[in-house]
Amino acid sequence: MDKLDIEVLSGKLDAELIKKDFPVLSNSVNNAPLVYLDSGASAQMPQSVIDRINHYHQYEHANIHRGVYELSEQATISYESVRSTVARFLNVTDTAEVIFTKGTTHAINLVAHAFGRTFVRAGDEIVISHMEHHSNIVPWQQLCEEVGATLKIIPISDIGELDLEEYRRLLSDRTKIVAVTHVSNVLGTINPIKEMVALAHAKDIPVLVDGAQGAPHMKVDLQELDCDFYIFSGHKVCGPTGIGILYGKRDWLERMNPYEGGGDMILSVTFEKTTYAEIPAKFEAGTPPIASAIGLGEAIKYLESIGLENIENHEKVLTQYATEALSDISGLTVYGTAPQKAGVISFGVKGVHPHDMGTLLSDDGVAVRAGHHCAQPVMQRYKVPATTRASFYLYNTLDDIDKLVDSVRSAKKIFS
């Protein structure tokens, strides 16, 4: 693929221009311009999000839902309006189905506790996949240990696709929930969620989708996917840390017991008995990260102004370009080569430890992730201790990829 083809393909998105919206990306690291290829861990924030958060702190800050004074009412309006922004982003209509959490990990723990302790019993089964992030493994494992249920694992193929035949076989009368990632944070595989949800629903089994790597990178239409829970983090969609979203179907949320107890989630409290608020408040105990929620709303508006389809298309082009260029390097293996793949490339170079690779790239200003990426079972599946991972976003350019490839080549030379 040459550069001219690529410019035509990603024509609707000018990454050079977009880059200018992100102040951190004009910085230098180790006397080299920063090449940020770790958006899979955390995306950068555009100036509009930083400004919106500052504005809240400077002019709007007050606790929400309780004050009768103007400032608190304004803060409440700003916070609550983000629920509608998120509902539009996910194409759902009922804003009460949008719950603010601290992030993906917190949201999955919420469901594992609230759904798990309400519906899962000894002898039941929970189906997850071999490519899950630890956040979508450990909470379910803890639940299983507590109630005496069993985890069942959907295997992955050599190229990094889920084995759907085995998935069908795993769905049984004992299955209480399926919890699966939309996109693998290591392999980049985009899973066929719509099909998987339909198969589970045919047996009345609800499905939770970990959208931490899905929502930032493609248009998510929950009316189309029809999953029961969809979860993502603010800091991966160009928003701040400390905020995430749990979308849940009203029927499930209403039948689930609360997760955390405290202020805001109650209707009435006496020493004899507490009754709970309606959703979404039932799952939002305590003062939430108000500024972060408002920042998340601004981040979503920013992504929508660029267009999620344009972002997805741009990342596909970058991924194809990078895969071709990296594959030309002898001794380099890419882990995860499924045809349906998002902007994540995990690789290893013979004779170079992934951590050494990450450090040498950093010397050139190239920021990538090295390690097990909180997905140790994936490392076990491919029999590697770690990988180096480059992940792309809307502000990455072909020049960024060229710098990555040059830097990998130089690192390899040092070890040969």
Q: How far is the CB of 89 from ligand PMP (least distance, A)?
A: 17
Region 93-112 residues binding ligand PMP, contact defined as CB under 6 A: 103-105
Q: Which of 135, 292, 397, 407 forms a contact with ligand PMP (CB under 6 A)? A: 135
x/- mask, ligand PMP, residues 32-71, rule CB under 6 A, reads: ---------x------------------------------
Rounded CA-CA distance 101/345 in Å is 29
* 191 sits near ligand PMP (criterion: CB under 6 A): no
Give me the least distance between CB of 125 and ligand PMP, in Å please. 22
Question: Residue 310 interacts with ligand PMP (CB under 6 A)?
Answer: no
Q: Where are the alpha helices (DSSP H) in 120-238?
A: 138-147, 164-170, 193-201, 222-225
Residue with tokens 């920042």: 295
136 vs 388, beta carbon nearer ligand PMP: 136
Q: Which CB, 178 or 398, lies closer to ligand PMP?
A: 178
Q: Among this protein's residues, is 374 annotated catalytic?
A: yes
Q: Out of 144, 227, 238, 374, pick the active-site residue.
A: 374
Question: CB-wise, 214 or 348, nearer to ligand PMP?
Answer: 214
Q: Is 170 helix (H, G, I), strand (E, B) or coil?
A: helix
- Regarding 175 and contact with ligand PMP (CB under 6 A), the answer is no
List the x/- string, 221-240, binding to ligand PMP by CB under 6 A.
------------x-------
**Does the footprint of ligand PMP cover residue 210 (CB under 6 A)?**
yes
**Nearest to residue 365, comparing CAs of 32, 16, 17?**
32
Token pair recorded at residue 296: 């998340």
Sign of CA pseudo-dihedral 382, 312, 191, 293: positive
Cα(68)–Cα(85) distance, integer angstroms: 25
When the beta carbons of 147 and 153 are compared against ligand PMP, the nearer one is: 153
Please state, as a whole number, how many other Cβ atoms lie within 10 Å of the Cβ of residue 404: 25
d(C-alpha 398, C-alpha 276), whole Å: 52
Shortest CB 282 distance to ligand PMP, Å = 21
CB of 60 to ligand PMP, least distance (A): 25
Contact 127, 170 (CB under 8 A): yes
Residue range at the interface with ligand PMP (CB under 6 A); choices 86-94, 145-153, 205-213, 402-410: 205-213
Query: Minimal CA–CA distance to 213: which of 346, 360, 116, 79?
Result: 346
Distance, CA of 35 to CA of 28 (rounded, Å): 9
Taking CB under 6 A as the binding criterion, the range among 66-74, 82-90, 131-139, 406-414 that sits at the site for ligand PMP is 131-139
Start-to-end CA span in the chain (Å): 29
Crossing angle, helix 290-306 and helix 70-90, to 10 degrees?
Answer: 40
Q: Which lies closer to ligand PMP via its Cβ, residue 245 or residue 317?
A: 245
Nearer to ligand PMP, 78 or 135 (CB): 135
For the chain, give the number of residues.
416
Backbone angles phi, psi at 214, to 5 degrees: -95, -60
Is the CB of 105 or the CB of 292 nearer to ligand PMP? 105
Of these, 113, 133, 217, 372, which contacts ligand PMP (CB under 6 A)? Answer: 133
Q: Is 189 in the site for ligand PMP (CB under 6 A)?
A: no
CB 90 within 8 A of CB 220: yes
Beta-carbon contacts of 399 under 8 Å, excluding residues fewer than 6 positions away, are none
Do the beta carbons of residue 395 and residue 25 sit within 8 Å? Answer: yes
Max Cα-Cα span within the chain: 72
Per CB under 6 A, 391 contacts ligand PMP = no
Question: What residue has token string 């995990």?
Answer: 346
Using CB under 6 A as the binding criterion, the count of chain residues that bind ligand PMP stands at: 14
Q: Which of residues 362-381 bind ligand PMP (CB under 6 A)?
A: 374
Binder of ligand PMP out of 44, 85, 191, 213 (CB under 6 A): 213
Please identify every residue annotated as catalytic: 374
Contact positions vs ligand PMP (CB under 6 A):
41, 103-105, 133, 135-136, 181, 185, 210, 212-213, 233, 374
